With several copies, the nearest count.
Chain A
C-alpha cells in the first residue's frame, strides 16, 4: 500500500507492507526503509515502536476540516493535521485554489449560533469589514470580509445554528 501524506506542509510518501510475524511491518518513508512494530489498540488509537522508541498516536476522526485538512492526529501532546490523497487530485486542487481574484466564501470557523448579520445581499463591503457575528459558549466571533467587493450571497439569518465550514456568505 502506497500513500502520499501531506503533513506539516510537506508531502511524504509512505509504503506499508506487513512482514512475516504479526504486528511487524516493512515501511518506506520517502524511499528510506524503516522496520516498524504497530498495533491498533482500538479504532483510532495506534501503538508504534520504531527502533525501540514507543509512540502512542490518536486519530481525531471527526476533526473539522479547518485549513482544508481532512484529518488530524495527536502525538506526544502535539496535533498534526494531515491530508492523504493521490498525487493527481492534490495537484488538481492546488491548481484550482487560484489567487486573490474571484468570488470569496466566508465560512464559519467555529460552531455556534448566528446572532447578528451586519450586511445584506447586494451591499458593497470593504476588506476586513464585519459580515456575520456567531456566538458560542458566551463568546462572540465577528467574521470579516477577506476583500473589498459586493455581497453576492447571504446564506444565514440571526438564530441559525452553524457548524465549522458552513458557508455563511459570498463576496465578489
Chain B
C-alpha cells in the first residue's frame, strides 16, 4: 500500500538542466506534482519541445554543449535568478558531475540525485569496484584498480586466464574496450586501449577483467530515500546493444526468476546503502548462461530506459525522485513492489541505415505517431522541427506494455507500422527487424545478438508493395502539378467531395 504523504517542504519550482525527451518527461512529472518548471536552452533549441512546454525558459549559450548544457555556472545562476528550489539534471550532461552536485549544495539549491560523496564513491568504475568488493558483491575476476604497467597486465591476465577484456576506468560506451584471447595480443591491445581512453575521457587508466562469453546485460533499478530506506524495483534486460550502446530494453528479463531477482536486488541495495546512496540509481550486471551475475558498474542517475520499470511496477520514478529530494520517506516498502506484465522500449534515433547508421539531423517534414492501448511515447520532436546536429541523435522512446512478452513484441510491431518520420532518416526499420527475429522472440539473446543479426543480410521478404509505391509516386507528382487541394480528394474532384462532407 502507498503510505500517506508526510508533511515536508515541497518544491515550488524546479530547473530542468537538460534538453530533449528527458527534459519534457521531467517537466510533465513536475506539472503533475504542481511544481513550476524552468527550462534552459542553447541557440539550437529555441524551438525545442522542452522549451515550448515549460513555464519559464532561459537562454544558456551557443549550440555546443560545452558552451550551454554543460555550463553548470550559468545554470546555477539561472536557478538563483528564477528562485528554483531544485535542479533535475536528467541523464547525460551534468547528471553524473559530482562537482556540480556539490556546487548546488553550496548554493542552497537541491540537486535531485545522490549527494556528491556517494556519486564520487560509486560513479568511477574503479572506486565502485572496491565498494562492491567490500559488500561481497560478485564481480568479474580481474584487477580492482587501474593497471600500473604492461607487466601488471600480463600478471593479472595470467592469473584469471584468457580470454580477457581491457576497459577504461573513466569510460563508458565501449570506448577504450578491447577483448584479448591470446597472450601475444595483449601488448598492442593495452597500448591501443590506453590511448583511446586518454582521447575519450582525458585519463589513460585501464583495467583488466575476465571476458564473459555471451553475457546478458541485466541491471537493477534502486530507489533510496534520505532516511535510510532503499528498495529495488526489479531488473531491466538491456542485452540488445550495438557498438556497446543499448538499442532495446525490456522489463522483466525473460531469464531472471524471482529468486535471482531477489539475490541481484539485495546485492544492489547493499552496495547503495554502503555508500549512503540516495535517490534513483542503477546497478549494472553481466549475467552468464549459468545464472551467475557479476557487478559491472553503477549509474548514479535516472536511466534512459526507466520507463520499462515504470510500466511493470506501476510507479512513476520521476515523481519518486522529486519526493525523495523533498526529504519524504519512500511511500512504499519492498513487499509492495510487484511486477506485472511486460514492457519493451525502442530508442528511436536520427540515423541513416543506408549510410553506415551515421547521424541524420535535419527538418522533420512529416510525423505520424502511434497511439492506443499499451503504447507510451516519450518524445521530444514535432512535425516541422529541425533536429540539431550538435546533440545525441535520440528522437524518441517508443514503449509498449502488454500482459506478456509475446504481446508486447506484437504491440510494438503494430505501433511501428503506424509510425512515420519523414525528412530525416531513422532506425525505425531496425526495430522491425529485431522484433521479428526468431532469436529475439524466443529470447536466447546476449550482448552480441545485434551484431550477429546485422551481419546477416536482411530477409528478402520486406514489407511494402512496389506496385502501390509506383502508383503513389505518380499521384504525388500529379498533385505537385496542380494547385494544392483545399479538401481531401485528389485533384479536381475535390469540390464535390467538400460538398458531400458538408463544407460548402
Contacts and interface: CB of A to CB of B under 8 A. Distances in A.
Given A16-B478, A77-B463, A110-B360, A23 B490 contact: yes
A63 to B, nearest CB: 7
Interface stretch (B68-76, B348-356, B398-406): B348-356
Interface string B413-436: 000110110110000110010000
A78 interface: yes
A109 B464 CA distance: 26
Interface of B is mostly: mixed
B379 to A, nearest CB: 16
A138 interface: yes
Given A45-B366, A137-B391, A75 B465 contact: yes
A90 interface: no
Contact of A110 (B352, B390, B489): B352
Given A41-B52, A48-B475, A58 B390 contact: no
B1 interface: no
Contacts of A55: 465, 468, 472
B374 interface: no
Contacts of A5: 470, 473-474
A3 interface: yes
A104 interface: no
Contacts of B420: 58, 74
A54 B355 contact: no
Contacts of A40: 475, 479, 485, 488-491
Contact of B355 (A52, A110, A138): A110
A75 B472 contact: yes
A43 interface: yes
B476 A60 contact: no
B502 interface: yes
A63 B423 contact: yes
B350 to A, nearest CB: 7
A82 B363 CA distance: 20
A52 B55 CA distance: 8
A61 interface: yes
Contacts of B355: 66, 109-110
The residue in B428, B464, B489, B503 that gathers the most chain A C-beta atoms within 10 A of its C-beta is B464
B135 interface: no
A29 interface: yes
Contact of B356 (A74, A75, A141): A141
A42 interface: yes
B334 interface: no
Interface string A93-117: 0000000000000000111110000
A124 interface: no
B365 A138 contact: no
A58 B366 contact: yes
Contacts of A71: 473, 476
A53 B55 contact: yes
B457 to A, nearest CB: 16
A112 B202 CA distance: 24
Interface string B23-60: 00000000000000001000000110001111111100
The residue in B464, B475, B491 that gathers the most chain A C-beta atoms within 10 A of its C-beta is B475
B52 A22 contact: no
Given A14-B474, A22-B496, A137-B391, 10 more contacts: A3-B477, A12-B470, A16-B474, A58-B420, A60-B365, A61-B422, A76-B463, A77-B417, A113-B502, A139-B359
Closest 5 CB pairs of A and B: A78-B464, A137-B359, A14-B474, A22-B493, A60-B422
Interface of B: 39, 46-47, 51-58, 82, 350, 352, 354-356, 358-363, 365-366, 368, 382-385, 389-393, 416-417, 419-420, 422-423, 428-429, 432, 462-479, 481, 484-485, 488-494, 496-497, 500, 502-504
12 contacts: A22-B496, A23-B46, A29-B470, A39-B488, A53-B468, A54-B55, A55-B472, A62-B363, A62-B422, A80-B473, A137-B392, A141-B358
